[in-house]
Amino acid sequence: MSELFMVVSLHAKPGKEDTLRHDLIPVVEHSRTEEGNIRYELFVDQSDPGRFVFVEHWASAEAQHKHDTQGTHIQEFNTHGVHNVQQVEFMHMLSRVV
């Protein structure tokens, strides 16, 4: 198993910036407690308060996959919070070079 890094950017629908922020906080809090999670942080762009960027570090791709497919907090967000997302701007799955 090799560790996995992810960087994901979501952009809120106009006028839904605060609502999306509120929706994302429980995702972060719960994700940090999951087995295999090393780092899970959420940032907001200083020049665009509707752009949220996740920086994730997982012990393995399997741990991240379990988080993404079995996490009840992820399922809750996909049911109730995702409607505040205008678009996923990017999602990069990264491997460490050095």
H or E element that contains 39: strand 37-45
| % of the chain residues with pLDDT over 70 | 99
pLDDT of residue 1: 62
* pLDDT tens digits along 57-86: 999 999 999 999 999 999 999 999 999 999
**pTM (2 decimals)?**
0.93
Tokens of 73: 């907090």
* pLDDT tens digits along 17-52: 999 999 999 999 999 999 999 999 999 999 999 999
Report how far residue 61's alpha carbon sits from residue 4's, in angstroms, rounded to the nearest whole number. Answer: 6
- Secondary structure of residue 32 in the 3-state scheme: coil
H or E element that contains 4: strand 4-12
pLDDT (average), residues 11-19: 98
- Which domains are present in the chain? 4-94 (3.30.70.100)
Report how far residue 65's alpha carbon sits from residue 57's, in angstroms, rounded to the nearest whole number. Answer: 12
User: Long-range pairs for 73-80 at CB < 8 Å and ≥24 separation?
Assistant: 73/26, 73/27, 73/30, 73/31, 74/27, 74/31, 76/26, 77/23, 77/24, 77/26, 77/27, 80/23
